[in-house]
Amino acid sequence: MSNLTKFANAGTAKYAMLGEITEELYDSIFGINVKGLLFTVQKALPLLPDGASIILNASIVASKGLPSWSAYSATKAAARSLARTWTTDLKHRGIRVNAISPGFIDTPGLRELLTSTETDQETRAMVKSMVPLCRFGTSDEIAKAVVFLASDDSSSALHAEPLELPADQFRQTHNS
């Protein structure tokens, strides 16, 4: 394992169609998902030794166009952008910065989000159908990817572009 690994995950999910996004929703989601991520890592930076590893939790939705998800998706795209930029900011210290971009992961929060109404149950079925294995990923699967990124086996992953591991890629037919 690397000297030390910082896994940074800041996330809340709120959804609204363009034209219905309020300033309050925007400030809330960007405040937690982007500002929270940036200042968490920045505060931890003096504690990280040279050669450490930082892994940011992004999301596959950063590169997908799902209706009502534009604000949330933009925050996860920002996390991926921060990983790319911080890689160059920290290369003089040999600190690797990577982003992991999981798909939908079966968590209590996701289950609550996708099963609270009949419409949400339809959304859950639609989302599952977009995933090649027709199932949600698990936190154990993501943990294994993070362990790899934290390990010396990924030590060559000091690039201008972070190593992203979409743990649960969407089917290409989801746009039809």
Q: Which residues are catalytic?
A: 72
Q: Which residue, 112, 37, 24, is CA-closest to 79?
A: 37
SS3 6: strand
Strand ranges (E), 20-157: 53-57, 96-100
> CA–CA distance from 123 to each of 40, 127, 130, 132 (Å)?
33, 6, 11, 16
